[in-house]
Structure 1
């Protein structure tokens, strides 16, 4: 995995997932760690994408905590920091989705899409909370408004109005 192919936010998400696995004394970094890291980053567009799809975020967070509690733990010694098979599949699927969006770098949105495409407890939790692949793709396109990710910092430019100003169109609705 070449981190130069990831946006800064995606790199930070991977580091946060690794730290969650380490703190949880888990033998591998799992998809649950990645999703928790995605949900924890308030600067990431992920919460916007979930809200746009009317996802029951509290339900998702509860399911995620249940999943994290079920993960195996190392007894004694340092936790191994390997990537699980499912998480490796997520990284591969995220990389494969670049072409569909015309992107040059993998971003947190690619992670969310890839998490939905695998067959594990994390994908089930996302689907149970109301997220669909079709809805997520539509929300990503709405967020980007035709832009693509051509630099490692590109995603910081998405959703700037909602981040730094009051959207009067939204307030009027």
Structure 2
């Protein structure tokens, strides 16, 4: 009987922790999708089918992450650009990462709109945001969320 109660307690704790992590991941997904829709560079209108993010994209997500994740957590943004779009000539192939920011930090520890030239003016295919909670030793990143541009919205398709 004791083993059964201990097993049930462990299952309950595991389920509660998994539910909390899923809830935090959904909050990250929501923050990225909301910012990807609202923080679009207006020059995107000139390039049909291309998504150009505004320099306020990272600071907009940053404000929401502070409400969900504990202070001291590390955050990094990864960008994958559309290298096939010949209208742009300054596009890196592979993944371009932001500096690692610290939630609750100021200055270099927080994204600023005037220091994001690595992601502006380039057509974005996908954005990945990675969060590692302070003191979390499991894995490389605690939470990872990726949002990709729908291929149906691209020109010529």
Q: Same fold (TM over 0.5)?
A: no
Give the TM-score normalised by structure 1: 0.30
- In terms of fraction of residues, the more helix-rich structure is 1
Larger RCO (CA under 8 A, 6+ residues apart):
1
- Bigger Rg, structure 1 or 2: 2
What TM-score does the superposition give when structure 2 sets the normalisation length? Answer: 0.33
